[in-house]
Amino acid sequence: MRVKHHPILGEDKRKENVTIVVDGKKIKAIEGEPIAAALMAAGIRVFRKTPKKNQPRGVFCAIGRCTDCVMTVNGIPNVRTCVTLVEDGMVIETQKGLGKWRESR
Amino acid sequence: MKKTQVAIIGAGPAGLAAAIEVARAGGEVTLLDENHKPGGQLFKQIHKFFGSREHRAGTRGFRIGEKLLEDTEKLGVKVLLDSPVYSIFKDFVIGYISDGREKAIQAERIILATGASENALAFPGCTLPGVMGAGAAQTMINVHRVLPGKKIIMVGSGNVGLIVSYQLLQAGADVIALIEAAAEIGGYGVHASKIRRAGVPIYTSYTIQEVIGKNSVEGAVIVGLDEKWKPIKGTEKLIEADTVCIAVGLSPLAELAWLAGCEFAFVPSLGGHVPKHDRNMETTIKGLYAAGDLTGIEEASSAMEEGRLAGIACAESLGLYSKEEARDLKEKVWARLNTLRTGPFGKKRRDAKDKLIEMMEGGADIG
């Protein structure tokens, strides 16, 4: 959910002006925001599954330190989504385990 | 190889303040940061800062950040963004990554201002999506304008826990409980009163027993603690929530200082292992300075003052200031730092810092 109105920061005038593809589904995002923010705004919380026990993981630190939020982005695994900005047409996948490298474009 | 007079690593409050001081003295500065934007964690701090007028008290954190950026720009500080530094080699050669490639820059002096990261807390369910750092939630709501959840439990009542609880309310979330393992609230009374007035229930002598949920947080069981911090049977409460924020302190991000070979001291009241430094913020390696949370967890105001100290001392060592000029400038900064380090919270840090500095002057090891 986006914070549109804020008593201190005011109105958020940015528009959802790009489209990203998350596990095959199109999602609107704001140019310049991190992938994790776009996913959180869309209500997505599970970013990857752990290699051994297949347990869900999501955002923990949001500043690029903990690597809990890594996903496969444009075929590249282990991308920190909290510090990687969205681009129009970006293909994002829930990462299984350590992920696989793949040529996507 | 690229060369610079002074390289500063980390463009948060300490690094920016240091850069401004060196540049103001006529030094040539390159500021490196791994993020897309400078400012570190200042831009998520939308509350008014404490302290006196010189500390710009009453000004909101992000406004202070804007002013620092304006000054660094005016003074011609070169800023390399998206440039994570991965090591410091012999002769102050700094290795960093930019555009996916390895690069290097050699400096005459280095100031480390790498900051800190949030501590985690271990309990069953602590890895479930929806359990996150309080600072992470703060980044999400105040910088990226996205709510991490609607019903939030805050764990920890230090200033971060209190301030972020209030800011979550401002962003439109419900903070349904604030829990604190100690018998008393950890942060400032004024912050606690604000969230109490907003109707947030505060549970002291309570901890989190487990977080439940299938794919993400659905609730948490909290439990009362006795005076020996042991859970009291029968006091368990199940609280429905979708997010659990952890505010149990920070740890210095000291990797680069370790890699550079700095001597360390273990000082729990400063957040753990910190590089030893003197009153000039110079570490045990000549020409290598450290400032901000890296040298002990404090507030942004103190980080900026430490950055200024490091910057002035660095400029002095390069001959940009005379000994007298530098002394006068440093004395002013120390006076401000000492006022920041007063009161029950500040006093502890001041004592710890004094001891750390004493160690550099040949005192006993407190680690």
**pLDDT for B366:** 46
* Average pLDDT score over residue span B203-229: 97
- Summarised one tens digit per residue, pLDDT across range B297-331 is 999 999 999 999 999 999 999 999 999 999 999 99
Q: Do the strands A48-49 and A25-29 form a parallel or antiparallel pair, or are they unpaired?
A: unpaired
B90: burial class by Cβ within 10 Å (0-12, 13-18, 19+)? exposed
**Cα separation, A29 vs A33, whole angstroms:** 8
- Summarised one tens digit per residue, pLDDT across range B7-45 is 999 999 999 999 999 999 999 999 999 999 999 999 999
**pLDDT for B29:** 98
* Average pLDDT score over residue span B206-215: 97
**Cα separation, B251 vs B150, whole angstroms:** 28
Residue B214 DSSP class: S
- Choice between B101 and B47, residue whose per-residue pLDDT is larger: B101
| Cβ-defined contacts of A68-73 (< 8 Å, 24+) | A68/B127, A69/A36, A70/A95, A70/A99, A71/A35, A71/A47, A71/A95, A72/A99, A72/A100, A72/A102, A73/A35
**Cα separation, A100 vs A94, whole angstroms:** 11
Candidate from A8, A64, A85 with C-beta closest to B170: A8
**Under 8 Å between Cβ of B31 and B71:** no
**pLDDT for B26:** 98
Three-state secondary structure string covering B247-305? CCCEEECCHHHHHHCCCEEEEHHHCEEEECCCCCCECCCCCEEECHHHHCCCCHHHHHH
Task: Write out residues 89-118 of B within 8 Å (CB-CB) of A.
Answer: 117-118
Instruction: Tell how far CA A99 is from the center of its chain.
Output: 15
Residue of chain B whose Cα is closest to the Cα of A83: B35
Give the mutation candidate from A4, A8, A31, A68 for the B interface (greatest B CB count, under 10 A).
A8
Q: Which of B86-90, B270-274, B344-348, B359-363 has the lowest mean pLDDT?
A: B359-363
**Under 8 Å between Cβ of B105 and B54:** no
**pLDDT for B344:** 78
Q: Write down the mean pLDDT value for chain B.
A: 94
* Average pLDDT score over residue span B220-242: 97
**pLDDT for B50:** 73
Residue A94 DSSP class: P
Counting every residue written for chain B, the total comes to 367
Instruction: Tokens for B111, please give them.
Output: 């100031």
- Summarised one tens digit per residue, pLDDT across range B121-132 is 999 999 999 999
Strand segments, DSSP code E, in B99-138 are 101-112, 116-118, 131-133
**pLDDT for B53:** 64
Residues in chain A where the model's pLDDT stays below 50 = 105
> For residue A7, which residues of chain B lie inside 8 Å, CB to CB?
170
**Which residue type occupies B119?**
N
Q: Give the pLDDT band of residue B346 (cuts 50, 70, 90).
A: confident
Q: Give the pLDDT band of residue B361 (cuts 50, 70, 90).
A: confident
Element (H, E) at B63: helix B61-74
Give the mutation candidate from B144, B151, B212, B246 for the A interface (greatest A CB count, under 10 A).
B144
* Average pLDDT score over residue span B148-153: 98
Element (H, E) at B134: helix B134-138
**pLDDT for A5:** 95
Asked if B139 has any chain A CB less than 8 Å from its own CB, the reply is: yes
Distance (Å) of CA B220 to CA A33, B56, B177, B216: 31, 40, 11, 11
**pLDDT for B47:** 87
**Cα separation, A99 vs B155, whole angstroms:** 33
**Cα separation, B197 vs B162, whole angstroms:** 12
Report the complex ipTM.
0.95
**pLDDT for B287:** 98
**Cα separation, A5 vs B205, whole angstroms:** 35
Enumerate chain A positions whose Cβ falls within 8 A of a Cβ in B: 1-9, 12, 14, 33-34, 37, 40-41, 45-47, 55-66, 68, 82-83, 85
> For residue A5, which residues of chain B lie inside 8 Å, CB to CB?
172
Residue where the block lists tokens 């949370």: B293
**Cα separation, A79 vs A94, whole angstroms:** 11
> For residue A29, which residues of chain B lie inside 8 Å, CB to CB?
none
Q: Which of B45-59, B151-165, B243-257 has the lowest mean pLDDT?
A: B45-59
**pLDDT for B367:** 42
Residue B179, pLDDT above cutoff 50: yes
